[in-house]
Chain A
Amino acid sequence: MTMGFLNWLLLFIPRAIMQGTPLLFGATGEIITEKTGNLNLGIPGIMYVGAISGMTGAFFYENSVVAVNPVLGILIPLVSCLAGSLFASLIYCFLTVTLRANQNVTGLALTTFGVGLGNFLGGSLIKISGSAVPYFSVSDVSRLFRAKLPFASSLGQIGNLFFSYGFLVYLAVIIAVVASVVLKRTRVGLQLRAVGENPATADAAGINVTKYKYFATCIGGMIAGLGGLYFTVDYSGGIWSNDGFGDRGWLALAIVIFSVWRPALSIFGSYLFGGLLVLYNRINVPMQMIPVVQMLPYIVTVIVLVSISAMKKKENLPPASLGLSYFREDR
């Protein structure tokens, strides 16, 4: 019985990690963004833009050469993904920081735009590829992104548990850890948090509020975009289908709350939520209970949100200026 469970766990955890990785990218990116007081509800859209930009780069590269060069095969999708997500983040920054527009409205408009752009370009590429099925694929590039460490298979179950993933999975963890250290331990992180807590005070202390908001939001957006890239080129095996990414962007926003704005905790949160996404495949639940299982992440998030507000511990609360635009002369 216990051996059976252990084996089940060893099969389940890698699935949870793979499901959790896009969420981890999204959550880390959004935490960095929110720490400067920008509530970017455009993250789901940005992840779509990141995904389709990467896939577009991969698609045209793969179709223009006979044999895919391993370096270019990684670099081209990666750079196009980052460029696409940077572009989307800049729209958000320009509107909310420079033009001081309402963050909720801008974010939601960006999500409409981003999902639309993703599905439109995706649909167009499906048409170009002449595919009879509603998807297109970039299998050679995908193989590069899915390449495992060479010694993974020789290590048995340990290898399967720790070393059986494409490099983006490790990158997600590294980024989360680095973000955690930078936010907590460095001067840049301190100033960044100061901007999110009280921009007027930060401004008075000589911190360039606009610069921090722009940088954090753009870097955060690019990290989130990588989540979209991972989902398409690695998790889905290089296959794009419209709306395939689903609601993962919103789930990433939930993880931000669940991990109380701590990137290191979001690693755990993402894998947990990723696990909940696929749990119904792995346990014997009656079909009608599947939605109940999928409801769990959101219920847990609500409980966390309520408890942190009830306990009122300063370090757990959302950044104080979250969602508000900053104008120096507002008093």
Chain B
Amino acid sequence: MSKQPNNSTAREREPLVVLSKRDTVPLGRAILVRAAAIAIAVIICGLLTLLVTKNNPVKVFAAFFYGTFGTSQLAWVTIHNVALLLCVSLAVTPAFRMRFWNIGAEGQALAGCFTCAALMFYLGGKIPDALLVPVLVISSIAAGAVWGLIPAVFKAVWNTNETLFTLMMNYIAIQMVEFFLKVADKSGSNTVGPDLLSHGWFPELFGNKYLLNIIIVFVLTALIYVYLYYTKHGYEISVVGESENTARYIGINVKNVIIRTMILSGAICGLCGLLLVAGSSHSIDSNLVKGRGFTAIMVSWISKFNPIIMVPVSLLIVFLERGAGQVTVSFGLNSSFSEILTGIILFFIIGCEFFLNYRLRFRSREGKKEGK
């Protein structure tokens, strides 16, 4: 793979650093490099937080933990947020594994939210709840699937750029929700709340309103893991991702795989929308998904598209969000601070992949000496 420079003739023009691609990375090294990157990022974030709060770093750190796990109520919200982020991350993963850049998870989830809320609004009270809930489940998931299917069909037929297409679909979905808000609530408010969406709520398990959602997502995690790693479909997705030509050569119908996988991807987003509306907030506004559709892309990618690794990664991101949220409250900062911290940590995690994928050989007087 790597090209050996011709030492005798090109000694003087040999560049300072020569790159070559690595085939595989030992697990220990992979963990070490990532841990180092996160450690550096955390140190920088810590220094930055110190700089702006001018407070005892231990106190700041304590606030992070308090905001995430301080009380059982806070801890449940944290776990619930992890579950929701994980759900969207699971949704985009099958598409990413076949190199279909679905950055429309936000819109697909909103399509689920919209359908769920609209049905709760128009059918609530008119049909029994026992019937309404299954209707909500089926239609929300279907709505997400349709929202994912549209760009997939055009990708399969005309090779339409899916990144840009799915991106645009997000904003169409946002305006669709805005439209519903204006139709459902004549007062012109920005949200339609539980008073108007009073039917079709998911039941509480053991008196905990988050538990059912959390269980659903963790079961889903296992299912997706099995689907991706142990089924024929999962294998086909990987082959298409590696090389469409290879896939075609060994007789995989690439178009079918693209469409099938995007239906799955959209459907899981729709499920997330359902969990958001019927399963927890019982309200809808155009920011209900809160950017999770975009955050999930980073979660999925950082986790190397592995559903199990996504659990701790989602936890890390939610920890940062909620912890920084607490810091901003305790120390009178502005709430956008958490986005800066998240950004910095993401930059480091994204950047460190380079040291796993490439081997660097520095120019040296002796010639062959392996660098980092």
- What residues make up the interface of A, taking CB atoms closer than 8 Å to B? 39, 41, 91, 94-95, 98-102, 104-106, 108-120, 123-124, 127, 242, 247, 250, 253-254, 257, 287-292, 294-295, 298-299, 301-302, 305-306, 309-310, 312, 318, 322-323, 327, 329-330
A108 engages B154 (CB within 8 Å): no
Given A112-B294, A327-B19, A329-B3, is A292 in contact with B350 using a C-beta cutoff of 8 Å?
no
The 8 nearest A-B residue pairs measured at CB: A116-B339, A113-B343, A123-B334, A119-B336, A291-B178, A288-B182, A99-B354, A295-B175
Q: How many A-B residue pairs have CB under 8 A?
A: 167
With a cutoff of 8 Å between Cβ atoms, the chain A residues found around residue B351 in the complex are 94-95, 99, 101
Given A116-B339, A291-B175, is A305 in contact with B298 using a C-beta cutoff of 8 Å?
no
A100 engages B165 (CB within 8 Å): no
Give the residue name and chain of the B residue nearest to A106 (CB).
B350
With a cutoff of 8 Å between Cβ atoms, the chain A residues found around residue B346 in the complex are 105, 109, 112-113
B182 engages A290 (CB within 8 Å): yes
Known: A100-B358, A309-B154, A323-B101. 4 other contacts (CB 8 A): A112-B291, A112-B295, A120-B336, A291-B179
Q: How far is the CB of A175 from chain B (nearest CB, A)?
A: 23
A250 engages B167 (CB within 8 Å): yes
B301 at the interface (CB under 8 A from A): yes
How far, in angstroms, from A110 to B101 measured CA to CA in the complex? 17
With most chain A CB atoms within 10 A of its CB, the pick from B158, B170, B338 is: B158
Q: How far is the CB of A308 from chain B (nearest CB, A)?
A: 8
B160 engages A306 (CB within 8 Å): yes
Secondary structure type dominating chain A contacts: helix
B298 engages A109 (CB within 8 Å): yes
Interface residues of B in 292-309 (CB under 8 A from A): 294-295, 297-298, 301-302
Q: How far is the CB of A96 from chain B (nearest CB, A)?
A: 9
A104 engages B103 (CB within 8 Å): yes
Secondary structure type dominating chain B contacts: helix
B344 at the interface (CB under 8 A from A): yes
Would you give 24 A-B contacts (Cβ < 8 Å), ordered by A?
A105-B298, A105-B350, A108-B103, A109-B347, A111-B294, A112-B294, A117-B336, A117-B343, A119-B334, A123-B336, A124-B334, A247-B171, A253-B164, A257-B164, A288-B179, A289-B179, A290-B178, A290-B182, A291-B182, A294-B178, A310-B158, A318-B164, A327-B19, A329-B20
With a cutoff of 8 Å between Cβ atoms, the chain A residues found around residue B158 in the complex are 306, 309-310, 312
How far, in angstroms, from A254 to B169 measured CA to CA in the complex? 11
Give the residue name and chain of the B residue nearest to A105 (CB).
B301
B176 engages A291 (CB within 8 Å): yes
How far, in angstroms, from A266 to B151 measured CA to CA in the complex? 24
**Interchain CB contact (< 8 A) of B21 among A105, A116, A330:** A330
With a cutoff of 8 Å between Cβ atoms, the chain A residues found around residue B31 in the complex are none
How far, in angstroms, from A101 to B351 measured CA to CA in the complex? 7
**Interchain CB contact (< 8 A) of B165 among A114, A292, A295, A302:** A302
Q: How far is the CB of A264 from chain B (nearest CB, A)?
A: 20
Q: How far is the CB of A247 from chain B (nearest CB, A)?
A: 7
With a cutoff of 8 Å between Cβ atoms, the chain A residues found around residue B250 in the complex are none
With a cutoff of 8 Å between Cβ atoms, the chain B residues found around residue A41 in the complex are 103, 167
Given A101-B354, A287-B188, A295-B175, is A302 in contact with B298 using a C-beta cutoff of 8 Å?
no
B163 at the interface (CB under 8 A from A): yes
Q: How far is the CB of B101 from chain A (nearest CB, A)?
A: 6
How far, in angstroms, from A287 to B55 measured CA to CA in the complex? 49
How far, in angstroms, from A100 to B357 measured CA to CA in the complex? 9
A322 engages B161 (CB within 8 Å): yes
A318 engages B301 (CB within 8 Å): no
How far, in angstroms, from A298 to B172 measured CA to CA in the complex? 6
With a cutoff of 8 Å between Cβ atoms, the chain A residues found around residue B164 in the complex are 253, 257, 305, 318
Given A113-B343, A298-B171, is A104 in contact with B163 using a C-beta cutoff of 8 Å?
yes
Interface string of B141-168 (1 = CB under 8 A from A): 0000000000000100011110111011
B175 engages A91 (CB within 8 Å): no
Interface residues of B in 260-313 (CB under 8 A from A): 291, 294-295, 297-298, 301-302
B47 at the interface (CB under 8 A from A): no
B326 at the interface (CB under 8 A from A): no
**Interchain CB contact (< 8 A) of A253 among B3, B167, B301, B334:** B167
B175 engages A116 (CB within 8 Å): no
How far, in angstroms, from A292 to B333 measured CA to CA in the complex? 37
How far, in angstroms, from A102 to B339 measured CA to CA in the complex? 20
A116 engages B336 (CB within 8 Å): yes
With a cutoff of 8 Å between Cβ atoms, the chain A residues found around residue B335 in the complex are 123
**Interchain CB contact (< 8 A) of A329 among B21, B52, B159, B170:** B21
A113 engages B334 (CB within 8 Å): no
